[in-house]
Amino acid sequence: MAFSKFNVFHWHIVDDPSFPYQSQIEVGLLHVDSQDVRRVISYARMRGIRVLPEFDSPGHTQSWGKGQSDLLTPCYRGSTPSGTFGPVNPALPSTYKFMATLFKEVSSVFPDSYIHLGGDEVNFSCWKSNPDVRAFMQKMGFGTDFTKLEAYYMENIVNITTALNKTSIVWQDVFDYHERVTSYEAELSRITKAGYRVLLAAPWYINHISYGQDWRNYYTVQPLNFSGTEEQKKLVIGGEVCMWGEYVDATNLTPRLWPRASAAAERLWSDEKQTSNVDKAFPRLQDFRCKRGIQAEPLFVGHCKHEYQGV
């Protein structure tokens, strides 16, 4: 998607025995007091949930420029600034000084060893228009290859967080550098062959709902069904159900999440041999909807007993 996105929740719902990646909730936090964040982390910890942040850059950062001058790249129209701004400016030393300060504070608030650095959907047009950025690229020997500039920025940010004893998570764009991949199976094969650990998210974007029993599609995903060695498949440490917020708020969050997220959860939390039959999953997910008091969407035609008031 070319437009900005606000991460409402990433439900990291993968756990033993099938995968080693433990259950988490990743919450997009904007202008929230650190004491409020600590309360969220404490509340989650008491329920066995880990909370980790995503600070996506260099793209998706327009709001950052409101509070930090000279962070974003000034865009040009010809030889004149256009008055608009693009991604974070990777050519300025002040950028990395700011990021080091930011992530040091983030690390003091979020105790989890993982931190999500984003790195997705970077539009190069503003960088290309800026004469200072182009001069920096020539100085660094990047020529006109803006993927090298993006890689330079991300490597610096990863180094900053590594120095803080954090393990970085990034979107696949950081690996692909704008190369188009035909399927998530092909992407899994490529990334694991390069020796990287993977969390699979692509087939579980549950804001992409459709008519009918689309929960079945989420239930039947097989994260290890790709071409690769056993060693490669050990690098797939889990899956991630994502919900983006362009068309989601408090009015429809719960019914969009469920039963779709629970379908993925059962598959990933359970032994695959015992949870491969989608028809047998139906009554279990129906119980989840009808007995837990969750306002989940119906799995199919029918109703819960407590909804039936008689005639």
Catalytic residue (one of 26, 54, 105, 121): 121
3 state SS for 224-239: CCCCCCHHHHCCEEEE
| Residue 105 annotated to the active site | no
Strand bridging mode 80-88 / 114-118 = unpaired
β-strand partners of 245: none
What residue has token string 């997705």? 120
Whole-Å CA distances, 82 to 73, 79, 126, 130, 215: 11, 9, 10, 10, 46
Q: By three-state DSSP, how is residue 7 classified?
A: strand
Reading the block at residue 177, the tokens are 């550098």
Q: Match 């995968």 to its residue by tokens.
A: 19
Rg of the chain on CA atoms, in Å: 22
CB contact at 8 A, 134 and 146:
no
Amino acid present at 80 = T
Pairing of strands 236-239, 24-27: unpaired
* CB atoms closer than 10 angstroms to residue 169: 20
Taking the C-alpha atoms of residue 197 and residue 191, their distance in angstroms, rounded to an integer, is 8
Cα separation, 241 vs 21, in Å, equals 13
Structure-token pair, residue 279: 């028809």
Amino acid residing at 228 = G
Residues recognised as catalytic:
121
